[in-house]
């Protein structure tokens, strides 16, 4: 069952958010949307959203996710083993290529990319286990296809994907020796939640119904159903008895446990998009209505997500800056919001460093996935999170692009020569909320001023065209990454 913590202060409901004088539609709220529904956005995108109503803005983002085609199939996407010339070398290269492609997708796709990332931490597999590039692509393609589609169809297809069949031993599940791994996780993690209205007997009987997906036509081809290895005979699942197969299990599950599934999924989505804190008020006012919307829509995800993202609850001041950024948030959000350069080489480095910080792409730590929030922060990862920003900014100097630091500061500040103002604007650009104390801004301003004598600032002689200005912006943005509020979104 889901656990709750009685500490949430957000008592707003799912009533649609309508701006008014004391709660205006502004850049803070737009950044909140882009950081939660994507990985940040450019200043131009933020400015454009100001001309839209919150309702239309969310509609546009959701529709964009629905309409976006899946990433093109790479030439090796449906290879079998025989198609490789040098398997070990080529397979490793194709995996690396797809990690780079995925990184590019996450940076650019807004809600579809964010949801695909969420689902890959829900329907967990492990690349290190199956280690096969075509299965990686096929798994990713399913995650994109159903990211904002029908959850029931998603469950049906992901369970017989080759990556999942290998990761949770479905390919070993036969009538000679049934394997219960996938049946257990189907209920415990993927649909119902731990201990939530299923029995050990349900798991045992379900495992029998899921048998038969054990063979491929050729090595490296997708697994297919073979009745020879399927348990032929009656099974009783959730009180329903019949000679069930895989599709029957999914149909019975969603027929008999729709409410439990919807509540579990809406709770996970709430924790991911809004807050880890859930109390009885939020269950009554937010989770339960969202779950009902999901059931009423026959498990189409879009109506429920729109209801959440358009709500007063989502836009409540107490929902801002309460989620700790993942490693992908740290890296990708900074790239999007700074608009400094990136290329495939940088994406490869981003994926690598994110793995060092605790988020290894396509390889969550276990079947339960990353637990997020405080789990992202440790004494070993925090310094790395700080250093990424500094290393990334250093690349601008190494590539002769340091002028982009000044261009960025000029654009945001209207080419101001006031160091206090520049510091405040640049810091607030990357933060969900203002810093806790004025002294935090003072410290940051002193870092930005660097070694330039104070009288040059007092007399208005200094400006962003000075030779030292790129390094000053570098110092400020590097310091910004060490501020506690920078770790939040």
Calpha distance 207→192 (Å, rounded): 16
CB 159 within 8 A of CB 170: yes
pLDDT in tens, 195-248: 999 999 999 999 999 999 999 999 999 999 999 999 999 999 999 999 999 999
Q: What is the pLDDT of residue 403?
A: 98
Q: What is the pLDDT of residue 434?
A: 87
Q: Tell me: do 337 and 298 sit in the same domain.
A: no
H or E segment and range at residue 49: helix 43-49
Tell me the mean pLDDT in the region 277-290.
98
Closest C-alpha among 114, 60, 483 to residue 306? 60
Calpha distance 415→402 (Å, rounded): 16
Q: Tell me: do 312 and 385 sit in the same domain.
A: no
Q: What is the pLDDT of residue 436?
A: 86
CB 50 within 8 A of CB 187: no
pLDDT in tens, 160-209: 999 999 999 999 999 999 999 999 999 999 999 999 999 999 999 999 99
- Confidence band, pLDDT 50/70/90 cuts, at residue 1: very low
Return the percentage of the chain with pLDDT > 70, whole number.
98
Q: What is the pLDDT of residue 465?
A: 98
Closest C-alpha among 262, 373, 251 to residue 307? 262
pLDDT in tens, 318-356: 999 999 999 999 999 999 999 999 999 999 999 999 999
Q: Tell me: do 337 and 301 sit in the same domain.
A: no
Tell me the mean pLDDT in the region 445-470.
98
Q: Tell me: do 32 and 120 sit in the same domain.
A: yes
Q: What is the pLDDT of residue 6?
A: 45
Residue 8 has pLDDT above 80, yes or no: no
pLDDT in tens, 295-310: 999 999 999 999 999 9
Q: What is the pLDDT of residue 74?
A: 99
Q: What is the pLDDT of residue 380?
A: 86
Q: Tell me: do 252 and 136 sit in the same domain.
A: yes
E strand spans, 233-277:
235-237, 240-242
Calpha distance 30→340 (Å, rounded): 20
Domain, as residue range, for 137: 1-321
Boundary of a domain, candidates 321, 350, 372: 321
Q: Tell me: do 337 and 305 sit in the same domain.
A: no
pLDDT in tens, 404-436: 999 999 999 999 999 999 999 999 999 998 898
Beta-bridged to residue 300, according to DSSP, are 150
Q: What is the pLDDT of residue 7?
A: 57
H or E segment and range at residue 412: helix 403-413
Q: Tell me: do 314 and 401 sit in the same domain.
A: no
Boundary of a domain, candidates 321, 336, 357: 321
Q: Tell me: do 423 and 303 sit in the same domain.
A: no
| Number of compact structural domains in the chain | 2
Q: Tell me: do 358 and 284 sit in the same domain.
A: no
Calpha distance 263→249 (Å, rounded): 19
Q: Tell me: do 333 and 317 sit in the same domain.
A: no
- Confidence band, pLDDT 50/70/90 cuts, at residue 2: very low
Q: Tell me: do 265 and 374 sit in the same domain.
A: no
- Confidence band, pLDDT 50/70/90 cuts, at residue 373: confident
Closest C-alpha among 137, 49, 54, 52 to residue 100? 137
Boundary of a domain, candidates 291, 321, 351: 321
Q: Tell me: do 235 and 304 sit in the same domain.
A: yes
- Confidence band, pLDDT 50/70/90 cuts, at residue 9: confident
Closest C-alpha among 235, 429, 241, 435 to residue 337? 429
């Amino acid at each position: 069952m889901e656990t709750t913590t009685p500490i949430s202060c957000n008592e707003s409901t799912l009533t649609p958010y309508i701006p008014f004088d004391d709660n205006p539609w502004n850049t803070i709220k737009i950044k909140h949307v882009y950081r939660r529904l994507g990985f940040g956005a450019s200043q131009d995108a933020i400015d454009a959203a100001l001309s839209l109503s919150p309702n239309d803005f969310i509609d546009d983002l959701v529709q964009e996710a629905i309409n976006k085609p899946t990433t093109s199939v790479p030439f090796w996407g449906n290879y079998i083993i025989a198609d490789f010339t040098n398997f070990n070398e080529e397979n490793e290269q194709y995996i690396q290529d797809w990690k780079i492609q995925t990184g590019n997708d996450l940076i650019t796709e807004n809600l579809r990319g964010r949801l695909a990332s969420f689902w890959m931490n829900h329907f967990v597999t492990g690349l290190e286990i199956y280690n096969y590039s075509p299965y990686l692509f096929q798994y990713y393609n399913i995650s994109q296809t159903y990211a904002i589609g029908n959850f029931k169809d998603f469950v049906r297809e992901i369970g017989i994907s080759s990556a999942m069949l290998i990761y949770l031993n479905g390919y070993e599940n036969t009538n000679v020796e049934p394997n219960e791994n996938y049946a257990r996780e189907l209920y415990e993690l993927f649909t119902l939640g731990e201990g939530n209205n299923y029995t050990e007997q349900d798991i045992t009987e379900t495992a029998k119904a899921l048998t038969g997906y054990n063979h491929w036509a050729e090595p490296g081809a997708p697994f297919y159903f073979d009745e020879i290895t399927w348990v032929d005979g009656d099974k009783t699942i959730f009180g329903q008895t019949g000679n069930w197969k895989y599709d029957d299990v999914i149909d019975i599950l969603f027929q008999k446990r729709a409410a439990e599934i919807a509540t579990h999924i809406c709770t996970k989505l709430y924790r991911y998009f809004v807050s880890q804190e859930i109390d009885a008020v939020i269950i009554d006012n937010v989770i339960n209505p969202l779950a009902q919307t999901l059931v009423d829509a026959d498990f189409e995800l879009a109506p429920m997500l729109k209801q959440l993202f358009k709500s007063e609850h989502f836009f409540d001041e107490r929902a801002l800056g309460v989620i700790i950024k993942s490693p992908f948030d740290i890296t990708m959000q900074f790239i999007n919001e700074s608009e400094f350069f990136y290329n495939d080489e940088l994406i490869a480095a981003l994926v690598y460093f994110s793995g060092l910080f605790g988020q290894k792409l396509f390889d969550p730590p276990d079947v339960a996935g990353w637990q997020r929030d405080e789990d992202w922060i440790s004494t070993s990862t925090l310094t790395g999170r700080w250093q990424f920003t500094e290393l990334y900014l250093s690349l601008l100097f190494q590539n002769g692009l340091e002028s982009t630091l000044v261009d960025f500061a000029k654009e945001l500040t209207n080419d101001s020569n006031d160091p206090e103002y520049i510091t405040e604007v640049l810091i607030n650009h990357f933060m969900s909320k203002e810093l806790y104390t004025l002294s935090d801004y003072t410290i940051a301003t002193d870092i930005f001023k660097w070694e330039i004598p104070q009288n040059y600032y007092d007399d208005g002689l200094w400006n962003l065209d000075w030779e030292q200005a790129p390094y000053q912006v570098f110092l400020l943005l590097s310091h910004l990454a060490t501020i506690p509020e920078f770790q939040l979104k």
